[in-house]
Amino acid sequence: MPFPVSSPRDLTRRMEALMEASIREARPDADPAAISRAVRSPRGMIAALIRTFVMGIYETHLHLRWWGQQYFPDTADAEHLERHASIWGVVRRPATPAIGRAEVSGAPGTIIPMGTVLSGDVAYIVDSTVTIGEAGTALLDLRAAEVGPSGNAAAYIALNVPTVIPITDQVAVVDDGGLVGGAAIEADNALLARLLVEIQTPAQGGAASDYPRWISNAFATSSVRVYGDWAGAGTVAIIVAMGSRLTPRPPSASEMEAIASLIERERPVTAHPVILPAILRPVDLTVEINPFDGPVRAAAEASVRTFFAAEAHIGGNLYLSRLSESISSAAGEYRHRLIAPAATIAVERQELAVPGTIRILEPPE
């Protein structure tokens, strides 16, 4: 049953009415107009006492409501949400550094020591000692010196190598996976989502629901799907998409290795996990919409992207009725006709549907 908090004005009116009635009952011989002035006039003594008392009552109500919100994790503020989560063994995921690989060229036998700092827009640290092989090249495992998205970098950029290490052009070139995985500290809504999963689907010693929990506790994932007996009895396929629900991406090779290392520590001894990247499946859409103006078109496109973020899952089909309903919810939309896709969006087990080209057309008269 809800308990609404009355406004100071409503509390004051109720207190004035109660005070006036009480005084009249105690002093039936008193002038009613004088009582009313004393109780309700802005300059009345009793009115001043009522206003002071009401503000104390109002602040007490607000404090009690705030405390009531802290009793439940889905309404608690950040500090108490973390307290709820810690009771269940869930900890806010800290900001993470970008990781990846870069290739260097030079004389065979040249050593690049662990801890070497490479410079670009930010600094990157070599995670393990590498020796250039007979082919004259080597791959360096890199980790951003700073945590957060600032360490993410595109493929094929050049990073400067200290001159004390003699290599070709004194640069290391990031491989085609880029430097990825740098993420900010976990947001409250993401922490709450993980806590609710922990409460609603407790650990079961290696059940399908455990693998996404283990991974999302350490990495910023957008979707994880688990399949048993993927390639025979005991094999477990773990399909992973990184990033956010709005902008998912496949994991890089470095991220897959890090996830595999984590799962190796957590898995049941009889399970044989295989980490696989999600395959993004772009879905092109064509829709006629009325009215055909800029704000409505923008709202319709945003609704489509929100639909995919909310409903697309690895290996999960998407249904046109749900997509059409999402477009109908766009602000300003009066009517529309979904031209493409024309049937259920079906994906393979490793695929994740994402919005492709969105064409919004003006309907014929």
Q: What pLDDT, on a 0 to 100 scale, did the predictor assign at position 221?
A: 92
Q: Is domain 97-174 given the CATH code 2.40.30 in the classification?
A: yes
Q: What pLDDT, on a 0 to 100 scale, did the predictor assign at position 286?
A: 96
Q: What pLDDT, on a 0 to 100 scale, did the predictor assign at position 217?
A: 87
Q: Is the dihedral of CA 249, 251, 253, 254 positive or negative?
A: positive
| Cα 330 from Cα 341, distance rounded (Å) | 19
Rounded to an integer, the average pLDDT of 143-169 is: 92
CB neighbours of 260 closer than 8 A, spacing ≥ 6?
273, 275
Per residue in 28-45, pLDDT (tens digit) is 888 888 888 888 888 878
Per residue in 212-227, pLDDT (tens digit) is 989 988 898 999 999 9
The full 3-state SS of 299-320, as one line of letters, equals HHHHHHHHHHHHHCCCCCCECH
Per residue in 50-90, pLDDT (tens digit) is 888 899 999 999 999 999 999 999 999 999 999 999 999 89
User: Phi and psi at residue 285, in whole multiples of 5°?
Assistant: -125, 140
Q: Where are the domains of the chain?
A: 8-71, 97-174, 201-277, 280-361
| Percent of the chain scoring above 90 in pLDDT | 69
Say how many C-beta atoms besides its own lie within 10 A of residue 105's C-beta. 16
Q: What pLDDT, on a 0 to 100 scale, did the predictor assign at position 2?
A: 66
Q: Is the pLDDT of residue 1 over 60?
A: no
